[in-house]
Amino acid sequence: MSPDRISDFIASNPILVAGFVGVTLALVFTEIGRLRRKYRIIGPAAVTELINREQALAVDLRPVNEFEKGHIAGSRNIPLGQFEPDHKVLAKAREVPVVLICARGLVAGTAADRLAKAGFGQVNVLEGGIAGWQQAELPLARGR
């Protein structure tokens, strides 16, 4: 394709070209952000393995009423509004894996950043949150 044809295409399709450039930039920034984050996003199988083999601390960030309706067995509830890296539940977990859980896997990243910045070495986020756990057809515990 000659440079003249390329410039003609760009001149004839400015919206299409702008959309392509926008999507490309979004992908580049997303990948740069993924490479720079200091936590891992892991699936339900990896969470189960961490809990069973490495005694990971699973922390559910959802409100108490949602936690009581169904949560991963053994997880501890620290609602996002009360979440702090120096919370008593997290005090002894700096050297063990920590798995953060929210409803859909979107909110836990913010808490994961806070833990990583506070010096926690092995911070993980459950991909898809509790919804992802249920989609994998894994059991939930009820109550407190």
pLDDT per residue over 13-47, tens digit each? 889 888 988 888 888 776 666 666 789 999 999 99
Give phi and psi for 100, each to the nearest 5.
Answer: -100, 135
Beta bridge partners of 39: none
65: tokens are 């009423």
CB 61 within 8 A of CB 110: no
CB 28 within 8 A of CB 67: no
Q: How many angstroms separate the CA atoms of 100 and 126, rounded?
A: 6
* Model confidence pTM above 0.85: no
Q: How many angstroms separate the CA atoms of 33 and 41, rounded?
A: 13
The predicted structure's pLDDT at residue 6? 83
